[in-house]
Amino acid sequence: MKDCIFCKIVKGEIPSVEIFQDKVAKVFLNINPASKGHLLIIPKEHFENILDCPDEILSHLIKISKKMAQLVKEKLGADAVNIANNSGKEAGQEVFHLHFHVVPRYKDDGMKLDFIGKKDLKDDLEEIRKIIIS
């Protein structure tokens, strides 16, 4: 994808502050960080989102995400981490190249990541389960 910003980062056409890379993935600091040490983990090959990425690459990316989470806790003193992926425009994806965010969390950082339940859907759980597994 020649217009993809992450593909350009992989090719070295756009600079990044690299933390790690191997044959499959690249990890770099987010230029618009939500917290100190906010990382992005991307596959070097272009996949739009989690749904079109082969399982073996996806597995590799999540293992790297875990290692990076451990690293920011150890090296930056983060108290916790969020590992996030947005797949699709309606899920908040802005760059359409698969990526995971590793967001270090610090005590009293004021960040919120809330999933507010919709009580009106609670009564539909069994019906939704049937649809999903059918």
> Which CATH number fits the domain that encloses residue 87?
3.30.428.10
- The pLDDT value recorded for residue 117 is 76
- The pLDDT value recorded for residue 35 is 95
Q: How far is CA 77 from CA 34, 90, 103, 106, 107, in A?
A: 16, 33, 13, 8, 10
Which of 48, 56, 58 is CA-nearest to residue 7?
Answer: 48
Q: How far is CA 48 from CA 6, 23, 88, in A?
A: 11, 19, 8
Residue 99 a catalytic site member = yes
pLDDT in single tens digits along all 134 residues of the chain = 679 999 999 999 999 999 999 999 999 999 999 999 999 999 999 999 999 999 999 999 999 999 999 999 999 999 999 999 999 999 999 999 999 999 999 999 998 887 777 777 777 888 888 888 88
Specify the number of domains making up the chain: 1
Domain hosting residue 118, numbered range: 5-133
